[in-house]
Amino acid sequence: MKVLYDGLSLTTALDQAFAKINSPQDKAFIQALCYGVCRHYHRLDFILSTLLDKPLKDKEIKTLALAGLFQLAHMRLKPYAAVSETVVAANKKPWAKAVLNAVLRNYLREQVALEEQANSVETAATSHPAWLIERIRQDWPEQAPDILLHNNQQPPMTLRVNLAKTTLEDYLVQMADHNLGCTTSACCPSAITLQRPVAVELLPGFNEGMVSVQDGAAQLAAWLLNAQAGQRVLDVCAAPGGKTSHILETQAHLQELVAVDIDASRLAQVQDNLQRLGQHASLKVGDASQPHTWWDGQLFDRIVVDAPCSATGVIRRHPDIKLLRRAEDIDPLAITQQAILQAAWAMLAPGGLLLYATCSIFKQENEQQIARFLADHDDATEQPLAMPGNSQWGVTGLHGRQILTGMAGMDGFYYALLRKH
C-alpha cells in the first residue's frame, strides 16, 4: 500500500516493515509477496477488475485481493491456505471477508479463462503501464518483446570478485568447496553469477572483502574507466558505493578517490562498503551539479558520472519502478543529467577521461544526451569503450554502448567515454 498509494519505494517500505518483524521466514515470505505483486501488478489488477462487478474502493481490501491473487497464481502454496489466510487478514473489516473469499474462489474456478483474457490485453499481458511499453518500443522496436519479458523475471545474483585479493580461478574453487554453483561472465573478468541466490554471510570470504554483490553491467564501469596509478579520480552520485570500491580494487595506487553523493544516509553505505573491503576514499555529501559547495578546485584525471536516471534498466530488480515512474519524469531527469555532466566536465583535467553511465534504456538519457553534449563542447571527443580481452557486450548506438535488460544476464546499462582536449 505504501508503494501503490504513498509513492514510497519498495525497498524503503520493506525496511520500515521489517523493523517490526524478527522471523527470517516471515521476512522472506513478505518480501516475495510484495515484490511479486509489484512485478505482476498490471496483470493482477486486470484480473481483479474482471472478477469484480464494481471496483473495490477500499485500498486495503483491494491490496489484499491482489496479494491473494498473486499467491494463487505464482506461489507454491496450497490454494485453500492462500484463500483462508487472505480472508483472515481482513478480520477488522467483516464485510470484506465474503468479497475476498468470492473473488479468490472464482479465480480458482476460472483461472485458465482469466489468464487467457489477460494475455489479450497488452498492459496485462506484459504487466507494464502503457506509456512504458510505448517508450520501450519507440527506442527499441525489435528488442522490445525481450526487454518486457526480462523486466518481469527475477534477476540473478551476481558477484564481483575482488581481484586485488584473489584470482577468479581461486575464488571459483572456494565456491565449489561450499557447494555454491556459479558461472563466469563472457563480458566482465570480475563477475560470477550464482545459480541461485544465497545470503551474503554464506559467501566465502565476504566479511574479509573477497567478494561483493554487484550486477555484471555495473562492474564494467571500473574496467572502462581504467584509472592509472597516481591519478585523482572522482565518482559522482556514488552511493551505494559499488563502483567506488571496484575502482579501488582495480587500481590501489591512486593519488585520491573522491566519492560524492547528495544523500548523507546513502553515503554512509559507501563508508560501510569501503570498511568491509579495507579501502579508503574521500567521501563528500554534495550536489553533483553544484561542485562549488564541496570541490577543492583541484582537477581530476578520471571522472565517473553515474547519473540519476529513470532506472528503466533495473526494473527486474526494482519492479516498483513500473508503478512509481511516470512519462513526465523523463524530461526533468534529462535536464538534471545535463547539469551534472556540465559540472563534472569543468572539474576534468585536459587529457582526462569522463565515463558517463546510467541504468536506463532510454535513448533520451543516453546516446541523445551524449550527442547534445558533444555538439556543445569542442574540447570533447568520444573514445572507444575497451574491455580487457576485447569482450563483446551491449549494442553500439549513435554514441556509447547500450546493454539492454537481460543481455548476457545483465541489467540494462549505458556507457559512453569522453576525453577532454
Pairing of strands 348-358, 413-420: antiparallel
Decide: 326 and 332 in contact? Cβ < 8 Å.
no
What are the CA-CA distances from residue 421 to residues 61, 261, 338, 353 (Å)?
A: 61, 27, 20, 10
Q: Output the nine-digit C-alpha cell for 161.
A: 570478485
Sequence-distant (≥ 6) Cβ neighbours of residue 74 within 8 angstroms = 36, 40
238 residue type, one letter: A
372 vs 5: CA distance, rounded Å = 37
Provide the strand spans (E) within 359-410: 380-383, 395-396, 401-403
142 vs 149: CA distance, rounded Å = 13
Q: Output the nine-digit C-alpha cell for 400.
A: 556509447
215 residue type, one letter: D
273 vs 117: CA distance, rounded Å = 47
- Which of 182, 237, 309, 359 is an active site residue? 359
Active site annotation includes 237: no
1 vs 257: CA distance, rounded Å = 41
Beta bridge partners of 413: 403
**Whether residue 197 has a cis bond before it, omega within 30° of 0:** no
Decide: 363 and 397 in contact? Cβ < 8 Å.
yes
| Alpha helices, DSSP H, located in 120-215 | 122-126, 130-139, 144-151, 168-177
340 vs 42: CA distance, rounded Å = 34
What are the CA-CA distances from residue 283 to residues 255, 271, 372 (Å)?
A: 15, 8, 30
133 CB-side CA count, 13 A: 14
Q: Please provide the size of the chain in residues.
A: 421
The residues annotated as belonging to the active site are 359
